[in-house]
């Protein structure tokens, strides 16, 4: 456990050095959130009754999404891991007395957490201060906020567990950038990354909400905004735990198989 914490700490302080990149990213995300909200307000003007969430809930959803983007984005990969596998230096990694699945998992968690820490607070600060209807509000009550925090951590773990599966697949297909992009984009969509799930047509929505991808950003963002509350929120968190366990176990098993079969060419 201590070793994993160390991996986390090293990675975290490594990533947190890139402040200029974070500043540039913040400007991007701020502009992005703003445009997104302007788009939703255009639809809101057309017919408020057809809106499946309240407008304020949508506003909160979008701002939290932008602030915590680094935690939840599915199209972000640790290139190092792919390089390790394709270049063969995996051999050294396997020689180390540390479970590789756990190590990579911690490394991914740390990168995402550090990137998020740098970006989230300034974005949230601005989102709370802008005047007018696009201003962000606090969650309905303290209990809801606690549920949101729990759900955020779980969502982060589910996202990392999912990307672990993609990393492991690199043992079998050496170069599959296209596949990776496709998987990431589709998953992001089903997690409510482009349009929140309540905006989906009812039939698709009921399917999407049961898929493991709904356990990603969809859950914490909707809990924060109050769109999912009380017993529903607890049920949602249970679903997150379930998918985390399933994906984690599957990833671990698969990793063991892959490691057993891996052949590194010498030379």
Partner 1 sequence: MKLYMRYLSIHIRSQMQYKLSFLLLTLGQFMVSFTALLGLWFLMSRFHTVEGFALPEVLIGFSVVLTAFSIAETVARAFDLFPRLIANGEFDRMLMRPRGLIFQVLAAKMELSRVGRLFQAAVMLAYAIPASGIVWTPDKILTLVLMIACGAVVFSCLFLIYAAISFFTLEGLEFMNVLTDGGREFGRYPFAIYGKEVLRFLTYVVPMALFQYYPLLYLIGRETSKFFMFLPLLSLLFVFPAYGLWRLGLRNYKSTGS
Q: Which residues bind partner 1 (CB under 8 A)?
A: 21, 24-25, 27-28, 31-32, 35, 38-39, 41-43, 46-47, 50, 52, 175-182, 185-186, 188-189, 194-195, 199-201
CB nearer partner 1, residue 61 or residue 105: 61
Give the dihedral of Cα atoms 22, 27, 29, 32; nearest 10 deg: -160
- Are 161 and 104 a contacting pair, CB within 8 Å? no
Compute the least distance from the CB of residue 176 to partner 1, in Å: 6
CB nearer partner 1, residue 32 or residue 254: 32
CB nearer partner 1, residue 153 or residue 165: 165
Q: In whole angstroms, what is the distance from residue 4 CA to residue 218 CA?
A: 28
Compute the least distance from the CB of residue 94 to partner 1, in Å: 27
Compute the least distance from the CB of residue 34 to partner 1, in Å: 9
Compute the least distance from the CB of residue 193 to partner 1, in Å: 9
CB nearer partner 1, residue 17 or residue 235: 17
Angle at the Cα of 142 from the Cα atoms of 137 and 147, rounded to 5 degrees: 95
Compute the least distance from the CB of residue 254 to partner 1, in Å: 21
Which alpha helices (H) appear in 170-229, and where do they start and end? 177-190, 202-208, 218-225
Which alpha helices (H) appear in the chain, and where do they start and end? 2-15, 19-46, 55-67, 69-72, 79-87, 90-95, 100-129, 142-169, 177-190, 202-208, 218-225, 230-261
CB nearer partner 1, residue 136 or residue 188: 188
Burial environment of residue 64 by CB neighbours within 10 A (0 to 12, 13 to 18, 19 or more): buried
């Amino acid at each position: 456990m201590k070793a994993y914490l160390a991996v986390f700490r090293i990675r975290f302080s490594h990533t947190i050095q890139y402040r200029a990149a974070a500043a540039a990213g913040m400007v991007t995300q701020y502009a992005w959130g703003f445009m997104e909200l302007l788009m939703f307000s255009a639809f809101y003007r057309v017919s408020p009754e057809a809106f499946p969430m309240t407008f304020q809930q949508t506003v909160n959803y979008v701002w939290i999404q932008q602030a915590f983007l680094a935690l939840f984005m599915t199209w972000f990969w640790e290139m190092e891991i792919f390089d390790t596998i394709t270049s063969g230096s995996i051999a050294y990694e396997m020689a180390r007395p540390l479970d590789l699945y756990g190590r990579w998992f911690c490394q991914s968690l740390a990168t995402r957490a550090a990137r998020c820490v740098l970006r989230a607070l300034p974005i949230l600060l601005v989102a709370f201060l802008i005047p007018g209807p696009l201003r962000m509000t606090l969650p309905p009550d303290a209990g809801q906020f606690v549920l949101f925090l729990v759900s955020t951590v779980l969502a982060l773990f589910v996202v990392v567990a999912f990307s672990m599966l993609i990393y492991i697949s690199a043992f079998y297909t050496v170069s599959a950038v296209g596949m990776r992009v496709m998987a990431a984009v589709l998953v992001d969509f089903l997690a409510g990354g482009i349009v929140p799930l309540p905006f989906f047509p009812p039939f698709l929505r009921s399917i999407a909400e049961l898929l493991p991808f709904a356990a990603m950003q969809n859950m914490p963002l909707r809990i924060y905004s109050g769109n999912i509350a009380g017993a529903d929120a607890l049920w949602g968190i249970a679903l997150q735990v379930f998918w985390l366990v399933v994906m984690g176990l599957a990833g671990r098993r698969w990793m063991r198989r892959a490691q057993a079969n891996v052949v590194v060419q010498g030379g």
